[in-house]
Structure 1
Amino acid sequence: MRIGIAGAGIAGLTLAWLLDGVHESVVLEARADLGGNLRSQRFIDTHGTPRMVDLGVHSVSLEAFPLFSRLTNALGLGADDWVSAPASHTIEVAEQEAPFFQGPLTASAGDEEAEGDGLPPRDAGQAVTTLVRESAKWAARGLDWQVPLRDMVEPWPWPTALKENVVYALAASLWGCDLARASTLSARAVAALFADEAPAGSTPLTQTLRHGMQDVAWRLAAQLNSADLRPGTALRGIRRAGDRLAMVDATGVPHEVDAVVLAVPADAAARALQDLPDAETARRALASYRYADINQGLHLDPCYVARAPRHRSTTNITVEGSWALGCIRRRFEDSAEVYVSQLDHRANLPRRLLARTTFRTLLPTPAMFAAQRRLGPLQGRGGLHFAGHVVARGATQEAAVATAVDTARRLGCDSARLKTLAPS
């Protein structure tokens, strides 16, 4: 078969890689670059040393992401390619001198007092412990993905400041929305990022790639033999061509295929389906998805972190009014530092701004998860499939790769590469 894939993010590229040698594929990508939210930037640090740093997805947990870990192993990435670092957070509130919270997002050993429906936390640290433990409970009892975060948090006997500056601020900084919107996101989606499985009292570790996370995308592309990869070529629409489908690119050229996989944002997918009368149900579902735009900047000056170096963490969040703005601090082996920050809603931009880019982040709203349920039965109908974040359960590389694996199986792929991703 010949498979058409729209989108060369991690899901689309992984799917093409899995199908390679079994089915032919043509991959259309609107951006000139590959990888979607995997965006690595080369720069020269203050020591004059060339570095790679990520403006998009900057770290993963290989322990928590077994499928993604097996994929990177299959691509030839070994232990020496990864750098492990403690995952710590600092939350500052504008016009307060001391950090509101500093530490790992994990449960504290021996601290059992504060529960969501029990006593109010004594401080922000105990609030984080409660959030982590409650998040694990939501997942364990199968809380519906359509339950808003505020429905779970507002009944807690917490001061408003703890709810806003801890729970809602953490979510808002990740998805680029304000605190009010963060409270409306899916509680399960937020919990998926904070339900920590590390032992109580320990600090979780995350991993970054020495040559940038986009190296995963480049390696996937380099190992494609039977795929026609076309970066800088957007999908304009899809139409029926007898018993087949035709993907029409932005230049008007049709690419006839036996099946189409849409691994693009929901609005782009809906536009591509406009000329297919039998895709009305899918278009209505896709209309329920909402995005936020985040402008990210790479800079050398520590303008968005705590003044005292001892108060700086891997992830630094500043709560200013209705916004919680994130800044990632990357520290290299020789103590050189660089920062990747959200630039929106800042009073001043960094003086030493090296690069900037814009992302669209999908907001995991209850309406989105309701739409996912409607898309599920449509998978494969009329040769149309969906992959990537529009059908993924979480905003992680693990979830995106899982959608590629599921789609490959629906397309009848039984490749050796697919077998390498199966649990041993």
Structure 2
Amino acid sequence: MRIAIVGGGLAGLTTAWLLDDEHEVVVLEAARHAGGHAHSVRAQGVTVDLGAQYLSPTGFPAHGRLLRLLGLSGADLMPAPLTLTVTGPDRAAPMLVTPHLPDERRGDREPVTGRPWKALSTFLAAAAKFQATDPSWEIPLADLVEPLPLARETKDWLLYPLLAHHVRCANEQAPGVSARAAIDFCLSVSAASGEHAPLWSALVPGSQDVARRLADALPHGAVRTGSPVGALRRDHGRFEVVDAAGRAVVADCVVLAVPAPAALSLLSPLAGTHRLRLALGAFTYTPAEVAVHLDPAYQPADRRHWSAVNLQVHDGWAEAAHWYGPALGVDVFKSWITYRDRPPAEVVAQRSFRQLVVTPAAVRARNTLAARQGHGGIYLAGSHLTGSDSQESAVRSALAVAELLTPHAARLRELTDGIVSPA
């Protein structure tokens, strides 16, 4: 079959890579380069990403396998201890600086623990028990947090903001998000021991390198960048995908590997897609402005309180400033600046995103979309469709499409052999 894939991000490119074993694929990407949200830049001699860069060695098994199949491993993955600092609006005195014994032995770090650290430990223990029961993704976070014997102030100024940061919503929205989405990520970045930060990995060549490797593995001309899709038509069982320049791709089926609002817009003219469109309309997004910069604009005043993730709770939001010193050895920062009182002074690059909020309504919509996958020749892929909206989610969504269209393909077997499907 000839398959048109709309969207050349990680989900779309992985889908194309998997389907290429048995089908002719054409990927149409609106941006001038493949990769979707992947946007890597150079700063202080290292590559950093405006999108996701940290990877979980244990929590991202399918994504990790994909990297190895693409030739990325070893020196391409730098250990990244994910220490955490949480401050209030003035950033003067941190309420929490998590321990990391190697830094403390060198005199580089001064933990701030006390009651907030005990409260976080209490929450993580409760979250682990909750997760072990394999709960529904539709249960709201408040059902887990509110029964805990913790002070109201702790819940409102530490737990809910921390979890709001993980699921990318306003602090006041956090009680209503999917508890499973919030804790799955939170538990994956919790420490194995109280004295050491959780160890993730930083992708040294950047996420755009992954996109390039996927695109290079496809036939010449299969990935068409600078081709925003303006219309999707269906006639006698075949599709015509038309880009903004009027160029058309005729295909037997189509994979929409784009965020829910974009998929909804493309499906609007097509008869028989009412249920799909209703489900796609249930996904909620929030705006995010992210900057890579060289000045420590949002770091605590005392360098010994700096962490890989520095979370400031202010004005109803929790915004992070990532410091790449622990992973890459340089004073380069990536900060969410959507609601900050001032921008950073030494900006290297800046980009706007719309980030998914995984609510129970979104989880119900996922179930509807999964049940209708492939109906009428329409398939969906993207990190919004499964899990906690991560790199692993994007790869898993591509696997779901490939299992329907190429169930016996060699690449599919290579990528899934021994990997357990998520609940």
TM-score normalised according to structure 2 size = 0.90
Q: Which residues of 2 match residues 151-230 of structure 1 at below 5 A?
A: 151-196=143-188, 199-201=192-194, 202-225=196-219, 228-230=222-224
1:147 to 139, 151, 171: 139
Give the deviation of 1:330 after TM superposition. 0.4
- One-letter amino acid of the counterpart of residue 365, structure 1: T
Give me the whole-angstrom Cα distance separating, in 2, the residues matched to 1:412 and 1:336.
44
Single out whichever of 238-247 and 301-310 deviates more from structure 2: 238-247
- One-letter amino acid of the counterpart of residue 8, structure 2: A
| Cα distance per residue 1:190-229 (max 9 Å; x no partner) | 0110124753434311111221122111111111116621
Change (3 A) 1:224 1:104: farther
Single out whichever of 149-158 and 303-312 deviates more from structure 2: 149-158
Match of 1:109 in 2: none
Match of 1:23 in 2: 23
Give me the whole-angstrom Cα distance separating, in 1, the residues matched to 2:81 and 2:382.
28
Change (3 A) 1:73 1:385: same
Given that residues 248 and 254 in structure 1 are in contact (C-alpha distance below 8 angstroms), is that contact kept between their aligned partners in structure 2?
A: yes
| Cα distance per residue 1:83-106 (max 9 Å; x no partner) | 00211110001236321111169x
Given that residues 295 and 359 in structure 1 are in contact (C-alpha distance below 8 angstroms), is that contact kept between their aligned partners in structure 2?
A: yes
Kindly indicate whether residue 265 of structure 2 is the aligned counterpart of residue 271 of structure 1: yes
Single out whichever of 404-413 and 366-375 deviates more from structure 2: 404-413
Match of 1:385 in 2: 379
Give the deviation of 1:332 after TM superposition. 6.6
| Cα distance per residue 1:266-325 (max 9 Å; x no partner) | 111011111211001100111111111110011111110111111010000011131111
| Cα distance per residue 1:366-391 (max 9 Å; x no partner) | 11011111112110111111111232
Match of 1:110 in 2: none
Number of aligned residue pairs: 404
Give the deviation of 1:131 after TM superposition. 2.2
Given that residues 138 and 363 in structure 2 are in contact (C-alpha distance below 8 angstroms), is that contact kept between their aligned partners in structure 1?
A: yes
Give me the whole-angstrom Cα distance separating, in 2, the residues matched to 1:129 and 1:332.
23
Given that residues 89 and 316 in structure 1 are in contact (C-alpha distance below 8 angstroms), is that contact kept between their aligned partners in structure 2?
A: yes
Kindly indicate whether residue 53 of structure 2 is the aligned counterpart of residue 58 of structure 1: yes
Give the deviation of 1:261 after TM superposition. 0.8
Q: Which residues of 2 match residues 201-350 of structure 1 at below 5 A?
A: 201=194, 202-225=196-219, 228-331=222-325, 335-350=329-344
Match of 1:39 in 2: 39
Single out whichever of 3-12 and 231-240 deviates more from structure 2: 231-240
For structure 2, the residue ranges without an aligned partner over 5 or more in a row are: 101-112, 419-423
Change (3 A) 1:282 1:334: closer
Match of 1:87 in 2: 82
Overall identity of the aligned pairs, in %: 37
Change (3 A) 1:335 1:380: closer
- One-letter amino acid of the counterpart of residue 421, structure 1: L
Match of 1:11 in 2: 11
Match of 1:117 in 2: none
1:278 partner SS: coil
Give me the whole-angstrom Cα distance separating, in 2, the residues matched to 1:104 and 1:284.
46
- One-letter amino acid of the counterpart of residue 289, structure 1: F
Give me the whole-angstrom Cα distance separating, in 2, the residues matched to 1:122 and 1:310.
17
Kindly indicate whether residue 368 of structure 2 is the aligned counterpart of residue 374 of structure 1: yes
TM-score normalised according to structure 1 size = 0.90
Give me the whole-angstrom Cα distance separating, in 1, the residues matched to 2:149 and 2:328.
45
Give me the whole-angstrom Cα distance separating, in 1, the residues matched to 2:49 and 2:383.
20
- One-letter amino acid of the counterpart of residue 137, structure 1: K
| Cα distance per residue 1:304-353 (max 9 Å; x no partner) | 01111110100000111311111000017784210010111111111111
Give me the whole-angstrom Cα distance separating, in 1, the residues matched to 2:166 and 2:328.
28
Match of 2:104 in 1: none
